[in-house]
């Protein structure tokens, strides 16, 4: 697999010991389909049309105008990703080859090959963690417009990373004007259960974005033919040589450079983006941290322009801001990430933290728990005592299993960095004892209960 990764480490102590790094992901190009395979698919679709007509499920009546598409990739409604994709390639309008390319916007976001293939569709790749996303069905190919399913290919291997695998999994949909959209490289056995001849509505699920066929990693190849079976570039632009430069096939055509926050996540350790061909990445996602653990915050972007301002905040459980850093993006990539590592000393409150990233007017927030081990057990018990957590209204509740009222017992409370913040002598009777303390909210402490014969330690939280 020729995916390229670059890690630029900018280690250095910034605010709060945050260590910073960044990198990018650049999918490599694949032919998507050989000319022979394309021809074979066209024949298969023709045969299906004839069959559907003979069954009365297909009409030759056609509307005059082509459909307007909605975006053909959506995220699984359950996902924690903000966005799941970026674009690697458009249609190539320069028919010379190799390395002679031009897309609809007169740029070079497309490719050709030495054997004369000029890219014929849009490649929409999943980011970040394409294999993880595929395995967890995070990115769906959906119908860009209403239509009839006129073909389905399934049963083909879906973890390819190179050329030479012509058989893909795909769904083909014919619209009311007779135009047809191809949705290729889908995950095996993820295709809509609807049969050939069924109607699908715009936005309806077709399959999971995968890497079947000639593919170097999970992506959707979206290829469109007009009612005369001529290839269409769905984008209106001055270098779209095939249709009028103003005739967009999109309800709302996306800009050529389309900055996106794909997600912000917390991780236990460095994310591993390449574990080899078809092998799921090591995400190291983690949302619940024990005291003492570091937290790595990764922000994932697509199409972020150079100089674009990025703001990262860490927000404490009491909504105060623990970390606030605005920096600017240093290079343009179709897919990139920035990360910061925060050491445990940063986390001076237990509970529900937030990491939030803002670019332009969009803010994406990720929730995580710090000090999960302190919050796990509500009652901390030993042979002699139970201590209730959390401490409510600064009243420490200690249940003593013995009557120690005649014996002076020492209570000491320490902050997690070892400072003694409270010390008092108490008389603990058998049963519930309420002891007034003065602790800060959202903090973890160590409670020591001792006298001459015992010495017990409990975690408490306020
Ligand atoms: Zn493609």
**Does some domain include residue 241?**
no
**Co-location of 367 and 429 in the same domain:** no
**Does some domain include residue 239?**
no
Whole-number Å distance, alpha carbon 408 to ligand 1 midpoint, is: 78
**Co-location of 148 and 219 in the same domain:** yes
**Does some domain include residue 178?**
yes
State the DSSP string of 225-268.
E-TTS-EE--S--TT--SS-TT---BSSPPPSS--EEEEEEEES
Residue where a domain terminates, one of 232, 249, 270? 232
Can you give the CATH number for the domain in which 188 is found? Answer: 2.70.70.10
**Co-location of 394 and 365 in the same domain:** no
Cα 176 vs. chain centroid, distance in angstroms?
Answer: 35
The mean pLDDT of 97-106, rounded to a whole number, is 95
Whole-number Å distance, alpha carbon 438 to ligand 1 midpoint, is: 64
**Co-location of 133 and 185 in the same domain:** yes
**Does some domain include residue 244?**
no
Selected residue with higher pLDDT from 460 and 332: 332
3 state SS of 399: strand
**Co-location of 86 and 129 in the same domain:** yes
Tokens describing residue 124: 């929409």
Whole-number Å distance, alpha carbon 47 to ligand 1 midpoint, is: 24
- pLDDT per residue as tens digits for the range 201-226: 999 999 999 999 999 999 999 999 99
Helix (H) or strand (E) holding 409: strand 409-415
pLDDT at 164: 79
**Co-location of 279 and 326 in the same domain:** yes
Whole-number Å distance, alpha carbon 33 to ligand 1 midpoint, is: 8
**Co-location of 72 and 202 in the same domain:** yes
Whole-number Å distance, alpha carbon 149 to ligand 1 midpoint, is: 20
**Does some domain include residue 242?**
no
Whole-number Å distance, alpha carbon 211 to ligand 1 midpoint, is: 11
Confidence at 6, pLDDT banded by 50, 70, 90: very low
Selected residue with higher pLDDT from 105 and 33: 105
**Co-location of 102 and 87 in the same domain:** yes
Confidence at 80, pLDDT banded by 50, 70, 90: very high
Whole-number Å distance, alpha carbon 121 to ligand 1 midpoint, is: 5
Helix (H) or strand (E) holding 218: none
pLDDT at 11: 32
Helix (H) or strand (E) holding 420: strand 420-426
Confidence at 18, pLDDT banded by 50, 70, 90: low
Residue where a domain terminates, one of 346, 372, 398? 372
Whole-number Å distance, alpha carbon 89 to ligand 1 midpoint, is: 7
> Could you say which DSSP state residue 39 is in?
H
Whole-number Å distance, alpha carbon 460 to ligand 1 midpoint, is: 57
- Say if residue 409's pLDDT is above 70: yes
In sequence order, which residues have a C-beta less than 8 Å from that of residue 44 and are 6 or more positions away?
151
pLDDT at 315: 96
Burial of 115 (0-12, 13-18, 19+ CB in 10 A): exposed
Range(s) of the domain holding residue 423: 377-461
Whole-number Å distance, alpha carbon 126 to ligand 1 midpoint, is: 13
Whole-number Å distance, alpha carbon 152 to ligand 1 midpoint, is: 18
Whole-number Å distance, alpha carbon 254 to ligand 1 midpoint, is: 18
**Co-location of 13 and 42 in the same domain:** no
**Does some domain include residue 253?**
no
Confidence at 19, pLDDT banded by 50, 70, 90: low
**Co-location of 278 and 222 in the same domain:** no
Whole-number Å distance, alpha carbon 88 to ligand 1 midpoint, is: 9
Confidence at 445, pLDDT banded by 50, 70, 90: confident
Can you give the CATH number for the domain in which 283 is found? Answer: 2.60.40.1930
The mean pLDDT of 1-27, rounded to a whole number, is 53
Whole-number Å distance, alpha carbon 101 to ligand 1 midpoint, is: 14
Cβ–Cβ under 8 Å, residues 202 and 146: yes
Cα 446 to Cα 420: distance, rounded to the nearest angstrom: 9
Can you give the CATH number for the domain in which 404 is found? Answer: 2.60.40.3080
Cα 116 to Cα 441: distance, rounded to the nearest angstrom: 68
Give pTM, 2 decimals: 0.83
pLDDT at 379: 67
**Does some domain include residue 322?**
yes
Confidence at 10, pLDDT banded by 50, 70, 90: very low
Tally of residues, the chain? 462
Residue where a domain terminates, one of 372, 395, 419? 372
Q: How many domains does the chain have?
A: 3
Cα 22 to Cα 83: distance, rounded to the nearest angstrom: 19
**Co-location of 205 and 131 in the same domain:** yes
The mean pLDDT of 289-294, rounded to a whole number, is 90
In sequence order, which residues have a C-beta less than 8 Å from that of residue 360 and are 6 or more positions away?
259, 308
Tokens describing residue 213: 């066929």
**Does some domain include residue 249?**
no
**Co-location of 19 and 168 in the same domain:** no
- What is the average pLDDT value for the chain, to the nearest integer? 90
Whole-number Å distance, alpha carbon 259 to ligand 1 midpoint, is: 21
Cβ–Cβ under 8 Å, residues 217 and 235: no
Nearest to 346 by CA among 13, 12, 18: 18
Tokens describing residue 356: 């939030």
Whole-number Å distance, alpha carbon 351 to ligand 1 midpoint, is: 46
pLDDT at 374: 61
């Amino acid at each position: 697999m020729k995916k390229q990764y670059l890690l630029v480490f900018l280690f250095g102590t910034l605010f709060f010991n945050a260590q910073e790094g960044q990198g990018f992901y650049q999918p490599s190009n694949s032919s998507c389909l050989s000319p022979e395979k394309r021809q074979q698919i066209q024949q298969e679709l023709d045969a299906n049309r004839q069959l559907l007509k003979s069954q009365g499920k297909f009409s030759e009546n056609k509307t005059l105008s082509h459909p307007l598409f909605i975006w053909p990739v959506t995220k699984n409604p359950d996902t924690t990703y903000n966005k799941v994709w970026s674009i690697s390639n458009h249609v190539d309008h320069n028919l010379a080859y190799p390395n002679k390319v031009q897309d609809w916007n007169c740029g070079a976001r497309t490719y050709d090959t030495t054997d004369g293939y000029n890219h014929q569709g849009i490649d929409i790749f999943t980011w970040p963690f394409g294999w993880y996303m595929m395995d967890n069905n995070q990115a769906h190919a959906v119908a860009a417009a209403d239509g009839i399913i006129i073909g389905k290919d399934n049963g083909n291997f879906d973890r390819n990373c190179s050329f030479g695998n012509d058989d893909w999994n795909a769904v083909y949909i014919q619209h009311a004007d007779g135009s047809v959209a191809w949705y290729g490289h889908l995950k095996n056995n993820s295709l809509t259960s609807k049969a050939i001849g069924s109607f699908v509505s715009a936005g309806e699920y077709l399959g999971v974005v995968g890497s079947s066929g000639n593919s170097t990693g999970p992506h959707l190849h979206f290829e469109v033919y007009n009612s005369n079976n001529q290839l269409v570039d769905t984008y209106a632009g001055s270098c779209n040589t095939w249709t009028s430069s103003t005739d967009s096939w999109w309800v709302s055509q996306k800009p050529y450079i389309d900055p996106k926050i794909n997600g912000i996540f917390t991780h236990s350790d460095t994310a591993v983006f390449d574990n080899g061909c078809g092998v799921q990445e090591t995400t190291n996602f983690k949302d619940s941290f024990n005291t003492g653990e570091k937290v790595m915050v990764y922000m994932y972007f697509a199409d972020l322009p150079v100089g674009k301002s990025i703001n990262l905040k860490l927000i404490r459980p009491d909504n105060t801001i623990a970390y606030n850093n605005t920096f600017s993006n240093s290079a343009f990539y179709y897919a990139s990430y920035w990360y910061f590592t925060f050491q445990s000393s940063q986390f001076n409150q237990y509970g529900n933290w937030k990491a939030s990233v803002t670019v332009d007017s969009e803010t994406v927030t990720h929730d995580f728990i710090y000090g999960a081990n302190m919050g796990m057990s509500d009652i901390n018990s030993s042979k002699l005592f139970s201590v209730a957590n959390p401490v409510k209204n600064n009243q420490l509740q200690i249940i003593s299993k013995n009557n120690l009222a005649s014996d002076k017992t020492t209570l000491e409370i320490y902050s997690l960095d070892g400072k003694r913040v409270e010390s008092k002598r108490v008389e603990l009777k058998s049963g519930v004892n309420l002891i007034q303390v003065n602790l800060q909210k959202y903090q973890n402490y160590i409670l020591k209960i001792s006298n001459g014969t015992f010495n017990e330690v409990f975690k408490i939280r306020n």
